[in-house]
Amino acid sequence: MEHFEQLVINMYRVKPKVWLRYVDDIFSVMKRNQVENFLAHMNSLHPKMRFTVEYEVDGVIAFLDTQIRRKTDGTLSHTVYRKPTHTDKYLNGKSHHHPSQLTSVVASLVNRAVNICDEENINQKLHYIDQILKNNDYSKKQRSWRPKAKKDDVSKDESNKKRAFLPYCSSVSDKIKRVLKKYDIDSIFRPPAKIKQLLRSPKDHIPWSRPGVYEVPCSCGKSYIGETKRSLSIRLNEHIKAIMKNQVTKSAICEHLAYALPEEHHEILFHKAKLLSTEQFYIPRLVRESIEIKTHKNFNRDQSFRLSPSWDAVINRLKQPWNKN
């Protein structure tokens, strides 16, 4: 877009008075009788680049989150723009969320107003924000939040700070936070799961099409446990290619077959491979892989992620047959 922008301006005989661009959204000031010719010029430079134009209405036009008004003296005023369909509904002030998350709603609205509005509009916009927060059951204390001055000096290195991510539970989380604070651990509270996260997806998933932790059994009774960030089908094809080329360093399954004794019969049952867990993120995959390695008879080269001894009781319980009593 930067290259295209230079072509547009440099190749046109009359330069726009104002030209501001954010990605492919452009705010420009030029004479009205030049707009159509300039638009045709922009659309002629590339066969797959097509722009449309929106004119000001009664001296007002919206650009991204900003509403710009042309005043009678030729100057521009600016304030926050909200679509006509905006409902002014936000996270309710009485909802069961950590106070910092409720504060972030107020902070985002106030910061946006302070950063966008000029002096002529800021007070009116802050009064409007106060009213919609009140309608969303925010108390006077919650609505009194204002931006704090930024500190230039950071005395403590925040990058090495220990953090604990916890679900928020009223009257319990604060006590846990105080205990962790004694050990110089910051507590970060996550909002509760949404209904969308609790319900099963209505879409059908193609088998072996997702990342996660998988098992490939062998006829000897043992299995290979692995993890992959790609689809299981791609990873299994890599194991098969390694076996065909006898690349023992690239596949533990190939190594298991290559170093088996002659009298032993080993057959890798790729058709019985299965995903034990679907997981997108790397560290959770490693943790789950380590748990599955400890709970399955396997021929893995190593134990993958090193688990804390506190996992032993859980893993020993998983090894035991299910007791319905």
Q: What is the mean pLDDT of the chain?
A: 86
Q: Is the dihedral of CA 83, 84, 85, 88 positive or negative?
A: positive
Q: Mean pLDDT over residues 142-150, rounded?
A: 77
Q: What is the pLDDT of residues 248-300, one digit of tens each?
A: 888 999 999 988 877 788 899 999 999 998 888 998 999 899 988 888 899 99
Burial pattern 142-177, b for ≥16 Cβ within 10 A else e, equals: bbebeeeeeeeeeeeeeeeeeeeebebeeeeeeeeb
pLDDT over 90, % of the chain: 33
Higher pLDDT, 101 or 135: 135
Check pLDDT > 70 for residue 161. yes
pLDDT at res. 240: 93
Q: Mean pLDDT over residues 299-324, rounded?
A: 75
For the chain, residues classed under CATH 3.40.1440.10 are 212-319
CATH topology assigned to domain 212-319: GIY-YIG endonuclease (3.40.1440)
Which residues are CB-neighbours of 26 under 8 A, at least 6 positions away? 19, 20, 51
To which residue do tokens 């998988």 refer? 214
Q: What is the pLDDT of residues 196-247, one digit of tens each?
A: 778 877 777 677 788 999 999 999 889 999 999 998 999 999 999 999 999 9
Q: What is the pLDDT of residues 29-45, one digit of tens each?
A: 888 888 899 999 988 98
Model confidence at 138, in pLDDT bands (50, 70, 90)? Answer: very high
Strands 185-190 and 76-80: unpaired
To 5 degrees, how large is the angle CA 37–CA 38–CA 41? 90
Model confidence at 61, in pLDDT bands (50, 70, 90)? Answer: very high
Query: How far is C-alpha 80 from the geometric centre of its chain's CA atoms?
Result: 26
Can you read off the two tokens belonging to residue 148?
């704090």
Q: Mean pLDDT over residues 183-208, rounded?
A: 79
Q: Mean pLDDT over residues 150-175, rounded?
A: 71
Check pLDDT > 80 for residue 142. yes
Among the residues of the chain, which ranges form H helices? Answer: 2-10, 35-43, 99-116, 122-135, 140-143, 173-182, 195-198, 232-244, 252-258, 282-295, 312-319
Check pLDDT > 70 for residue 147. yes
| Cβ neighbours around 255 below 10 Å, total | 19
